[in-house]
């Protein structure tokens, strides 16, 4: 019954586009023909129905594509690139990982500026680690913008970073500008913060109908796990694998999350060909947390302490120092903490 509804919607969408998009050429841009537009939307609907990991959302997706026509959007599409962009915008109201791209047949990629891939850039920029330092009061701080692919090189980098904060009394991990990346790197970094063999997350893949599970890994003989308090900083731009890292540690009660609700992308994706140079990035998998049995798709990860992301570091730092103040017995470190708290209070007042 449901598949019949989807097929009927595809036929209706095709008819709508034939009736509505009779002309779409502006400013000398390549036009999207009536036939091509109809075929693109129909094939896109079919490809999504075949691969999208959330079949229950197909009805909403087809309604979005229908709305794309009925509100007259297609009449104002001046090029294939513009159509891809507007279709992406329409589909991302359902799932933020959707993306539509267009590349003309026979296009010489060598004539276009080269684009660096996410993981190539991460590898080039020390696996995304921007900063690691020990703040006054012996609080560790790590700032990084992506979860690199796990290689011997990236493993060594993580080992080095975690060794630098191993002897601090609390740790702040800044994910406010982190756009995600590899679930294997989420697994690796989490292994420094938890015992071995803790179930972090599972990912269900629709194309193969299989589920991949992720558990924390045992550390090397000379590596030290971090058992002290952990604080995670988030923003509305914290996305994908970075959200998984936050979601996992939050529900395992291993970290305090401070900042803004995250962006809300839990479904891994890949590109599939559509037609006439169009391809669709379609979420074909989804995260399943072992504790909640769900994920953060569309809703994000809500922090324990909700503050503007610009203030998250100061709030986390002050929270960490206040917690340490009554635990530290070393008189000079205790004085460092008292002095820093006074400084932070003075700065906040000003």
Tokens linked to 84? 């891809």
Residue 38, SS3 per DSSP? helix
Model pLDDT for residues 275-319, shown as the tens digit of each residue: 888 999 999 999 999 999 999 999 999 999 999 999 999 999 999
CA 244 – CA 238 distance, rounded (Å): 10
CA 290 – CA 240 distance, rounded (Å): 18
Long-range contacts, stretch 210-219, CB < 8 angstroms, 24+ apart: 211/288, 214/183, 214/184, 214/186, 214/187, 215/187, 216/187, 216/190, 216/191, 217/187, 217/188, 217/191, 218/191, 219/191, 219/192
Model pLDDT for residues 33-83, shown as the tens digit of each residue: 444 577 788 899 999 999 999 999 999 999 988 877 666 555 556 688 888
Instruction: Assign 2 a pLDDT band (cuts: 50, 70, 90).
Output: very low
Whether 224 has a pLDDT exceeding 70, the answer reads yes
Ramachandran region of residue 308, left (φ > 0), alpha (ψ -120 to 50) or beta?
beta
Whether 258 has a pLDDT exceeding 90, the answer reads yes
Dihedral sign, Cα of residue 103, residue 109, residue 111, residue 113: positive
Helices (H), 92-182: 118-124, 152-165
pLDDT computed for residue 275 by the predictor: 87
Q: Which residue has the tokens 């609700």?
A: 261
Helix axes 80-91, 34-51, angle to 10 degrees: 40
Task: For residue 288, give Cα distances in angstroms to 170, 199, 348.
Answer: 29, 11, 40
CA 83 – CA 68 distance, rounded (Å): 10
> Mean pLDDT, to the nearest integer, of 139-168?
98
Cα Rg of the chain, angstroms: 24
Q: Which residues pair with 172 in a beta bridge?
A: 141, 231
**Closest C-alpha to 101, from 114, 113, 116, 86:** 86
CA 171 – CA 316 distance, rounded (Å): 10
CA 91 – CA 96 distance, rounded (Å): 8
């Amino acid at each position: 019954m449901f598949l019949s509804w989807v097929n009927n919607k595809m036929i209706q969408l095709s008819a709508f586009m034939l009736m509505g998009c009779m002309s779409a050429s502006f400013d000398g841009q390549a036009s999207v023909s009536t036939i091509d537009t109809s075929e693109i939307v129909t094939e896109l609907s079919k490809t999504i129905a075949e691969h999208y990991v959330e079949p229950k959302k197909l009805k909403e997706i087809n309604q979005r594509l229908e709305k794309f026509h009925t509100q007259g959007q297609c009449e104002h599409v001046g090029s294939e690139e513009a159509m891809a962009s507007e279709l992406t915008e329409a589909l991302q109201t359902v799932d933020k990982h959707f993306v539509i791209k267009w590349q003309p047949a026979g296009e010489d990629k060598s004539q276009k500026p080269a684009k660096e891939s996410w993981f190539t850039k991460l590898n080039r920029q020390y696996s995304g680690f921007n900063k690691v330092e020990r703040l006054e009061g012996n609080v560790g701080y790590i700032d990084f913008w992506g979860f690199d692919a796990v290689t011997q090189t990236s493993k060594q980098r993580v080992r080095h970073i975690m060794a630098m904060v191993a002897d601090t009394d609390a740790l702040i991990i800044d994910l406010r500008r982190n756009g995600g990346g590899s679930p294997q790197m989420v697994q690796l970094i989490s292994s420094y913060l938890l015992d071995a063999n803790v179930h972090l997350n599972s990912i269900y893949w629709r194309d193969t109908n299989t589920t991949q599970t992720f558990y924390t890994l045992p550390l090397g003989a000379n590596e030290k796990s971090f058992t002290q308090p952990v604080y995670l900083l988030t923003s509305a731009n914290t996305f994908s694998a970075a959200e998984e890292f936050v979601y996992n540690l939050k529900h395992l009660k291993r970290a305090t999350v401070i900042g803004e609700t995250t962006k809300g992308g839990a479904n891994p994706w890949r590109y599939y060909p559509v037609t006439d140079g169009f391809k669709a990035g379609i979420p074909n998998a989804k995260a399943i947390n072992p504790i909640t049995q769900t994920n953060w798709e569309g809703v994000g990860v809500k922090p324990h302490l909700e503050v503007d992301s610009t203030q998250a570091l100061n709030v986390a730092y002050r929270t960490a120092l206040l917690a340490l103040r009554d635990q530290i017995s070393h008189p000079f470190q205790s004085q460092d903490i008292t002095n820093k708290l006074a400084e932070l209070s003075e700065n906040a007042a000003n």
